[in-house]
């Protein structure tokens, strides 16, 4: 009996060690490109593609960041472009949360004729790949005079089917008793929504906010169509501009990559506690 | 009288329901429904973007052309290869990683965050980084050479067909592995401890616990992850776009979305591009419909 | 009596006010591609022009050259294009054909008519932008490419740049091989690398040297002289990773790193304007004179001596702009372009103006004789409404052969099929 116990204990120990090893190696592999990005940003271009890669930079080559900020014409337009990305992503994120939670709440807690149809219709839009509608969408935007404007960059993305789906899933489980009690107390529907429902949707709202922000920050195709002037470019457009014709200094590119990623990293670090905990996502975001 | 009051309250509720839903509906109508209907309409015409002449009605010609086009079927093949090649490893590895993470006591959050971190970067940035890594002088070659004990072999990450496809898969895999791992962790985490303890008392070891308890209970999550991953892969664009713009050959990674973009913007064939978009839409419709069906059944409790 | 004259006065002054208001501020939008040097001088021209004509404002927008084609297309297709723009001629061709751009307003810029304008430029300048006797663009630059050489690297490899430079494409392979440094299979220094995306300008002449053509004389058949095409495909295969491993489109473009003189590229294919960039990027390299320019190579068995094609950028005006805007647009364009010598000196781009070419300083510019000789044996880049679609097909063909190791005849067949399909299809 003792021997049996020891053997399975040893197997367990071995299994645990292997699991740790696997996790650590996988973790390193996943993180290496990020480390590469940060270290490469701090070295001059000719060192980046040296063989072997000199992992530790000899001092911080700040010129990369300076030149990245300066931009190819020396106008520091990157700052303006970064601001644009922030404004667009932030606005889309905020309004997406608003509209999606409104719609999700309506679909989850109110019964009305045609509710299922509306829900199905909204879900159907999730299956529309952007490339399918980009040209007609562009025509719509043009006709409304939205080219090269913030509105043009923001408007098409306020309707987010996934957002509606997420909020609906989350709000379905919201206890009806609280809502009914508030109604009996004489609170109006908008008040109930803004004072009771929305504040207690923290995890879902945070998840949606992050996802919407990230997807806008990332967005390349739509700005490529809509933005015409240098000032209104967003970060991905700035990057492709830099890469294209004149110079493609790798060090500067990595520095720009770092600078472009900072807001997302900050957001991630601060908000991740909402959706990554030791048990994974909260039930709100399982959908 | 009581009934009448209840009835009007329902009506009031119904109206509020519409009020809440309408803003989104208007936006959807303008920016989703109208464009896709317009796209469907366009696919029956041949329009030259530059010409001021009205477009020419061609009926089903664009669709007939696509079904007979080698180029189109190559795109389908590329998309399928990419999707299967990405989502299968994503599925397997995210499940494995989730199980491993849940089987250790500490550092769970650390590992999840580490795996999730690539998802934080934009795809343009990710493409930039990997283009440098896959450069012949870059880390990929150095790493593989070190691993295989060879010296100076160029594995042609961005040149040969097979390697190029692998490269795009690697980038996508890297970006999304954390995302799906976290979902699986949540799935495992929602399995009540009582079940696990019961199984352990019954003499299950780590392996049988996984195989006979965890995995079956994870079936809905697995299905969900598969379909989400598949849809995400079908939509891939930025990676292939950035790679082909940086000099990689187009043919091996000309996925449908890239084909649509090039057909519309570079060849000006709006009719053909929208026809392709409609076909893609139909495929994605089928998958998303599946996903919704599955997530519905997932709402059924674990008991 | 007084009342009526008062009324008349009011009416007259209203009319006057109206005409002043009518000569409202004109705002012109001008889109062009990035070029640091050109941006500086053109911004100055804008200020000067606006000072001369206070009712005119000009907004200049830059985008990178590779995106300009897409941007212009989407803008025009939405009827939302800028008033003034420039693109390479092979991309502008379609706009002219579909009457999306306006003919030059000869009187506004001081010429009697089209012939008068044409006589001020090198013969043949306007051939490609003339339709039904009207000229549709003013040339910003006419450019051809020749081979720049980094002398240091030649000597480092034990070669003499003055005599050992490649005169044929076969020699190019051998010389590049001697200059190439590798770590195993991985190239760390290239001898030469091609100007990859621009196949119509740089690669098609290679085919023509061997007697091949992209289209038949009547423009109805794709690909003439298969052997010529296959020889060129095979040359590229030899160049790539499955051949002698001398370069590939996946490495950084040669002309972008040539200026740095960083021992990573010995030769590149680029135009006269490159010198301006070298001067700005790396003045020591420029002043040291350790660079030179040599002619575009030919094949040993060439039947035609064809140099790298030249292309042009023409300034064009949107046909949908109002007549008044168009007039101001042409005025502004002419004002800018009148600074021919400054464009040449600062930006190193050549307007084919007769007064410029006759200027004695012209031929004394470094290696201008090489460029001019090369231009003399070349022709304008291949033009066709679907030109850049063809270029994309050629790009994919070469990539398949070079990188995916596809057999040349298979790639050629696919190319032929795709071009033929476009030719047979008519809107």
- The full DSSP string for C407-427 is -HHHHHHHHHHHHHHHHH---
Q: How many CB pairs under 8 A join A and C?
A: 57
Query: What total number of domains does chain A contain?
Result: 2
From residue C183, alpha-carbon distances to A160, C190, C294 in Å are 50, 12, 29
Q: In the predicted model, is pLDDT for residue A244 greater than 80?
A: no
Chain C contacts of A245, Cβ < 8 Å?
A: 33-34, 64-66
Name which of A259-263, C387-391, C423-427 the model is least confident about.
Answer: C423-427
Q: What is the DSSP letter of C149?
A: E
**DSSP-derived 3-state class of residue C309:** coil
Closest residue of B to A39, CA-based?
B129
Q: Quick check: is C11 in a domain?
A: no
Interatomic CA distance for residues B134 and C250, integer angstroms: 10
Chain B partners within 8 Å of A250 (Cβ): 132
The answer to whether residues C222 and C258 belong to one domain is yes
How far is it between the farthest Cα atoms of chain C?
103
Mutation site for B-interface testing, chosen from C182, C195, C404, C413 by largest number of B Cβ within 10 Å: C404
Give CA separation, C109 vs A218, B303, C112, C319, C337, in Å.
47, 85, 9, 17, 11
Residues C40 and C125 in one domain: yes
Contact present, B163 and B156 (Cβ < 8 Å): yes
Map residue B267 onto helix, strand or coil: coil
Cβ contacts of A46 on chain C, cutoff 8 Å: 262
Distance CA A114, CA A116 (A): 6
CATH topology of domain B32-44+55-191+222-298: MetI-like fold (1.10.3720)
By DSSP bridging, strand C138-143 and strand C311-317 are antiparallel
HSE-CB for B101 with a 13 A CA cutoff: 33
Asked if residues B35 and B263 have their Cβ atoms less than 8 Å apart, the reply is no
Angstroms from A75 CA to nearest CA on chain B: 22
pLDDT, one tens digit per residue, over C108-144 is 898 999 999 999 998 888 888 999 999 999 999 988 9
Using the structure block, give the residue that is written with the tokens 């010296």. Answer: B151
% residues pLDDT > 70 (chain C)? 94
Whether C388 has a pLDDT exceeding 90, the answer reads: no
Domain with A56 in it: 2-64
Nearest to C267 by CA among C191, C177, C156: C191
Give yes or no for a cis peptide into A52 (omega within 30° of 0): yes
* Contact call for residues B72 and B66 (beta carbons, < 8 A): yes
Q: Which chain B positions have a beta carbon within 8 Å of A111's beta carbon?
A: 10, 13-14, 17
B48: nearest CA partner in chain C: C427
**Do C58 and C185 share a structural domain?**
no
**Is residue A169 located within the same domain as residue A118?**
yes
CA B181 – CA C105 distance, rounded (Å): 65
Q: Assign C389 to helix, strand or coil.
A: helix
Per-residue pLDDT, averaged over C57-67, amounts to: 84
**Predicted complex: ipTM over 0.95:** no
A23 shares its domain with A142: no
* Distance between C26 CA and the closest CA of chain A, angstroms: 19
Give the span between the Cα atoms of B276 and B283, in whole angstroms: 11
Sign, CA torsion A125/A129/A132/A137:
positive
Local structure of residue C128 (DSSP, 8 states): G
- Rounded to 5, what percent of chain B is helix, strand, coil? 75, 0, 20
Domain containing C55 equals 24-143+310-376
Does residue A23 sit in the same domain as residue A90? Answer: no
**Are C155 and C295 part of one and the same domain?**
yes
Q: What is the pLDDT of residues C333-369, one digit of tens each?
A: 999 999 998 998 888 888 989 888 888 888 888 899 9
CA distance C56 to B172: 50
Are the beta carbons of B184 and B214 closer than 8 angstroms?
A: no
φ and ψ at residue A104, rounded to 5 degrees: -60, -40
Q: Residues A60, A112: one domain?
A: no
C76: contact with B, CB 8 A cutoff: yes
- Measured distance CA(A193)–CA(C55) in Å, rounded: 54
Task: Provide the β-strand partners of residue A280.
Answer: A277
Domain match, A145 and A257 both? yes
Residue in C closest to B45 by C-alpha: C427
Average pLDDT over residues A55-83: 85
The pLDDT value given to residue A275? 65
Give tens-digit pLDDT for A158-197.
888 888 888 888 888 888 888 888 888 888 888 888 888 8
Nearest partner of C318 among C43, C71, C109, C79, judged by Cα: C79
Other CB atoms within 10 A of residue A35 CB: 11
By C-alpha distance, the chain C residue nearest A135 is C74
**A30 near B120, Cβ under 8 Å?**
no
Q: What is the pLDDT of residue A129?
A: 72
Mean confidence (pLDDT) of chain C: 88
Task: List, for residues B168-189, the tens digit of each pLDDT value.
Answer: 999 999 999 988 898 888 888 8
We report the CATH number of the domain holding residue C354 as 3.40.190.10
The Cα of B53 is separated from the nearest Cα of chain C by a number of Å equal to 9
B136 compared with C16, residue with greater pLDDT: B136
CATH code of the domain containing A109:
1.10.3720.10
Counting as contact any 3 or more CB pairs under 8 A, the partners of A are B, C
φ, ψ of residue A107 to 5 degrees: the values are -75, -30
- Output Rg (C-alpha) for chain C, integer angstroms: 25
Does residue C210 fall inside a structural domain? yes
Q: Are C315 and C137 in contact (CB under 8 A)?
A: yes
Written as six digits, the tokens of B85 are 């090649």
| pLDDT confidence of residue A190 | 85
Instruction: List chain B domain ranges.
Output: 32-44+55-191+222-298
Considering the domain architecture, whether residues A51 and A82 belong to the same structural domain is answered as no
**pTM of the full predicted structure?**
0.81
DSSP strand pairing (C186-193 vs C222-224)? unpaired
User: Containing H/E element for C213?
Assistant: strand C213-215
Do both C297 and C327 map to the same domain? no
- pLDDT tens-digit map of B192-247: 778 878 877 877 777 777 787 788 888 877 877 787 788 888 888 888 988 888 87
User: pLDDT value at position C9?
Assistant: 66
Same domain, C254 and C289: yes
* Residue position matching structure tokens 């706009």: C95
CA dist., res. B250 & res. C150, Å (int): 32
pLDDT digits (tens, 9 = 90+) for A264-286: 888 888 877 766 665 544 433 33
Give the DSSP H/E element, type plus range, for residue C293: strand C291-294
Q: What angle do CA C46, C47, C48 make, to 5 degrees?
A: 90
The separation between CA B249 and the C-alpha centre of its own chain, rounded to angstroms, equals: 23
Q: Where are the beta strands (DSSP E) in chain A?
A: none
8 Å CB contact between B239 and B168: yes
User: Is the pLDDT assigned to residue A64 strictly greater than 80?
Assistant: yes
pLDDT of residue C337: 93
Between chains, do A138 and C74 touch, taking CB under 8 Å as contact? Answer: yes
Query: Which helix H or strand E contains B16, and what residues bound it?
Result: helix B2-28
pLDDT at C88: 87
CA–centroid distance for C143 within its chain:
6
* B154 vs C contacts (CB less than 8 Å): 184-186, 241, 245
Structure tokens at C146: 């020749």
Task: Specify the number of domains making up chain C.
Answer: 2
Which of A38, A64, A90 is at the close of a domain? A64
Half-sphere exposure for C164 (CA within 13 Å, toward CB): 21
- φ and ψ of C312, to 5 deg: -130, 160
Q: Which of A147, A244, A251, A253 to mutate to test the interface with C (most CBs of C within 10 A)?
A: A244
Burial grade of C10 (CB within 10 A; 0-12, 13-18, 19 or more): exposed
Q: Does A187 share its domain with A270?
A: yes
The C-alpha of B171 sits at a distance from chain A's nearest C-alpha, in angstroms, of: 10
Sheet of C145-150: strand order equals: C181-183, C186-193, C265-271, C145-150, C291-294
Q: Hey, is the C-beta of C182 within 8 angstroms of any chain B C-beta?
A: yes
Sign of CA dihedral C116, C118, C123, C128: negative
**Residue of chain B whose Cα is closest to the Cα of A17:** B104
Q: How confident is the model at residue C14 (pLDDT cuts 50, 70, 90)?
A: low
Q: Which residues pair with C265 in a beta bridge?
A: C190
Whether residues A9 and A52 share a domain: the answer is: yes
- Give me the residue label for tokens 């898969």: B169
């Amino acid at each position: 009996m003792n021997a049996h116990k020891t053997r399975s204990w040893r197997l367990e120990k071995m299994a645990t060690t292997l699991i740790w090893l696997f996790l650590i190696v996988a973790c390193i592999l996943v993180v290496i490109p990020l480390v590469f990005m940060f270290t490469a940003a701090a070295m001059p271009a000719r060192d980046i593609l040296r063989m072997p890669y000199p992992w530790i930079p000899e001092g911080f080559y700040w010129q990369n960041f300076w030149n990245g900020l300066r931009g190819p014409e020396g106008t520091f337009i990157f700052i303006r472009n970064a601001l644009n990305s922030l404004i667009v992503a932030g606005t889309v994120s905020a309004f997406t949360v608003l509209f999606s939670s409104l719609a999700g709440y309506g679909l989850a807690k109110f019964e009305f004729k045609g509710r299922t149809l509306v829900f199905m219709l909204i879900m159907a839009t999730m299956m529309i790949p952007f490339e399918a509608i980009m040209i007609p969408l562009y025509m719509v935007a043009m006709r409304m005079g939205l080219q090269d404007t913030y509105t043009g960059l923001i408007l098409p993305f306020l309707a987010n089917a996934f957002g509606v789906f997420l909020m609906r899933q989350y709000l379905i489980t919201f206890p009806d008793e609280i809502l009914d009690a508030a109604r009996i107390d004489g609170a109006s529907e908008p008040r109930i929504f803004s004072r009771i429902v929305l504040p207690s949707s923290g995890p879902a709202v945070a998840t949606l906010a992050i996802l919407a922000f990230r997807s806008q920050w990332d967005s390349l195709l739509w700005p490529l169509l809509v933005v015409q002037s240098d000032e209104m470019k967003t970060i991905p457009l700035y990057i492709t501009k830099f890469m294209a014709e004149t110079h493609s200094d790798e060090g500067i590119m990595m520095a720009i990559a770092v600078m472009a990623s900072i807001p997302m990293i900050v957001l991630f670090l601060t908000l991740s506690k909402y959706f990554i905990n030791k048990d994974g996502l909260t039930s709100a975001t399982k959908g | 009288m009581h009934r009448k009051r209840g009835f009007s309250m329902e009506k009031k509720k119904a109206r509020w329901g519409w009020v809440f839903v309408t803003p989104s509906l208007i936006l959807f109508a303008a920016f989703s429904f109208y464009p896709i209907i317009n796209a469907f309409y366009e696919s029956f015409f041949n329009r030259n973007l530059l010409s001021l002449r009205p477009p020419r009605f061609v009926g089903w010609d664009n669709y007939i052309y696509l079904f007979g086009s080698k180029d189109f079927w190559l795109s389908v093949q590329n998309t399928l290869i990419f999707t299967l090649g990405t989502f299968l490893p994503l599925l397997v590895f995210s499940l494995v990683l989730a199980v491993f993470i849940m089987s250790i006591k500490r550092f769970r959050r650390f590992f999840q965050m580490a795996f999730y971190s690539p998802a934080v970067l934009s795809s343009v940035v990710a493409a930039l980084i990997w283009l440098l890594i896959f450069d012949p002088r870059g880390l990929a070659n150095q790493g593989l050479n070190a691993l295989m004990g060879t010296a100076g072999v160029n594995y042609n990450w961005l040149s040969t067909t097979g390697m190029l496809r692998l490269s795009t898969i690697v980038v996508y895999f890297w970006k999304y592995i954390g995302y799906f791992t976290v979902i699986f962790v949540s799935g495992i985490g929602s399995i009540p401890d009582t079940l696990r303890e019961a199984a352990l008392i019954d003499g299950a070891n780590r392996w049988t616990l996984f195989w006979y308890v965890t995995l079956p209970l994870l079936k809905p999550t697995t299905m969900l992850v598969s379909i989400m991953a598949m849809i995400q892969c079908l939509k891939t664009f930025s990676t292939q776009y950035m790679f082909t713009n940086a000099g990689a050959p187009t043919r091996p990674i000309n996925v449908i979305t890239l084909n649509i973009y090039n057909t519309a913007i570079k060849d000006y064939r709006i009719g053909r591009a929208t026809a392709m978009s409609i076909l893609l839409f139909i495929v994605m419709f089928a998958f998303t419909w599946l996903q919704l069906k599955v997530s519905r059944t997932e709402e059924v409790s674990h008991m | 009596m007084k009342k009526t004259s008062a009324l008349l006065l009011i009416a007259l002054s209203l009319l006057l006010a109206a005409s002043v208001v009518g000569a409202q501020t004109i705002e012109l939008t001008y889109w062009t591609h990035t070029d640091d040097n050109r941006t500086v001088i053109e911004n100055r021209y804008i200020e000067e022009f606006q000072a001369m004509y206070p009712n005119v404002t000009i907004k200049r927008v830059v985008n990178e050259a590779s995106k300009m084609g897409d941007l212009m297309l989407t803008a025009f297709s939405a009827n939302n294009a800028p008033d003034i723009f420039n693109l390479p001629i092979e991309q502008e061709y379609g706009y002219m054909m579909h009457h999306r751009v306006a003919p030059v307003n000869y009187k506004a810029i001081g010429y009697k008519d089209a012939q008068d304008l044409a006589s001020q430029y090198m013969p043949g300048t306007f051939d490609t932008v003339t339709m039904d006797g009207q000229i549709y663009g003013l040339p910003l630059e006419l450019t051809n490419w020749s081979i720049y050489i980094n002398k240091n690297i030649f000597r480092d490899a034990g070669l003499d740049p003055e005599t050992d430079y490649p005169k044929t494409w076969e020699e190019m392979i051998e010389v590049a091989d001697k200059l190439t440094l590798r770590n195993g299979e991985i190239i760390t220094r290239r001898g030469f690398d091609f100007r990859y995306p621009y196949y119509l300008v740089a690669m098609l002449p290679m085919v023509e040297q061997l007697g091949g053509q992209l289209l038949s004389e009547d423009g109805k058949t794709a690909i003439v002289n298969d052997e010529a095409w296959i020889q060129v495909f095979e040359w590229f295969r030899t160049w790539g990773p499955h051949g002698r491993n001398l370069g590939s489109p996946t490495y950084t473009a040669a002309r972008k790193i040539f200026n740095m003189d960083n021992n990573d590229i010995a030769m590149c294919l680029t135009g006269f304007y490159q010198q301006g960039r070298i001067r700005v990027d790396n003045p020591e390299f420029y002043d040291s004179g350790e660079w030179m320019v040599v002619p575009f190579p030919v094949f040993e068995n060439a039947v035609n001596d064809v140099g790298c094609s030249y292309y042009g950028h023409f300034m064009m005006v949107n046909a949908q702009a109002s007549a008044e805007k168009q007039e101001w647009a042409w005025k502004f364009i002419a004002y800018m372009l009148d600074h021919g010598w400054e464009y040449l000196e600062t930006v190193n781009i050549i307007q084919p103006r007769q007064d410029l070419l006759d200027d004695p300083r012209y031929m004394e510019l470094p290696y201008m004789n090489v460029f001019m000789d090369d231009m003399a044996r070349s022709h304008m880049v291949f033009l066709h409404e679907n030109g850049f679609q063809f270029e994309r097909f050629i790009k994919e063909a070469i990539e398949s052969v070079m990188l995916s190791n596809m057999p040349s005849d298979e790639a050629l067949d696919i190319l032929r099929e795709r071009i033929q399909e476009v030719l047979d299809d008519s809107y």
